[in-house]
Structure 1
């Protein structure tokens, strides 16, 4: 069986990039090939501060896309390794939609606290139950 190749798409903000990079590194430690797609600005920040101290070698590949977030569909066949899964920051819904359209396995990653996610997912129920109104009061 071929090595799985995961395309990782973080939300382009430091509070999102670093936890997503840590997830990518954990995948590489399990033998998964990872292509980490970043905006040009964040790519420069990450690559200037990232050392391959864990010896990931060619299993960890970092690429950048223009800040305009051009479609990455032409990047799904880098080095002849087909992307087998897309993991995108939950704030990058477009990446999940593109993966679905291309029939690629996909997962959303939430880099913030689980409490924040639980709160966000509960807002509608709080409104429905009359605990808060649409304005949050």
Structure 2
């Protein structure tokens, strides 16, 4: 068995992504492998803001999934965004977990999720993965 591996899933609105990212980066410095899952929209924003300086450890990996909204749709409409996430995110998270666990010696042992992203906690419970909610 390799390093402990945590999947981190923030709620996809301003003020939720960066705090979990900072916590995740600190966990990576402690030797914990992190897969930080963002929506594709936020993923682009994070890459633009941090560039290549996101990971100093080799243990912090950014991954992304679609949010279900079309290009140009207003992601500031929280109700619409949340509804879309509830429709697409459970399947996408399951697929991501299966993909990582099938191709990586460091299996996902825990899901660290924003409490506002309860659907991620439901997916982890369904898959038998321990969770931590912030």
TM-score by shorter chain over 0.5: yes
8 A Cα contact 2:55 2:61, kept in partner? no
Gaps of 5+ in 1: 110-137
Q: Quote the residue 1:33 is aligned against.
A: 33
Normalising to structure 1: TM-score of the pair?
0.73
Matched, 1:52 2:73: no
Q: Quote the residue 2:42 is aligned against.
A: 42
Matches within 5 A, 1:1-137: 1-50=1-50, 51-52=52-53, 55-57=56-58, 59-68=59-68, 69=85, 70=88, 71=91, 72-76=93-97, 77-78=99-100, 79-80=103-104, 81-109=106-134
Q: Could you tell me how far 1:98 is from its partner in structure 2? A: 0.8
Q: Pairwise CA RMSD of aligned residues? A: 1.5
Q: In structure 2, do the counterparts of structure 1 residues 96 and 55 end up closer, same or farther at CA, with 3 Å as the change threshold?
A: same
Gaps of 5+ in 2: 69-84
Q: Secondary structure at the match of 1:104?
A: coil
Count of aligned positions: 108
Normalising to structure 2: TM-score of the pair?
0.74
Larger Rg: 1
Q: Could you tell me how far 1:2 is from its partner in structure 2? A: 2.3
Q: Which has the higher contact order (CA 8 A, sep 6+)?
A: 2
Q: Residues of 1 paired with 2:20 and 2:54: CA distance?
A: 18
Q: Could you tell me how far 1:44 is from its partner in structure 2? A: 0.3
- Higher-helix-fraction structure: 2
Q: Could you tell me how far 1:14 is from its partner in structure 2? A: 1.9
Q: Residues of 2 paired with 1:54 and 1:66: CA distance?
A: 23
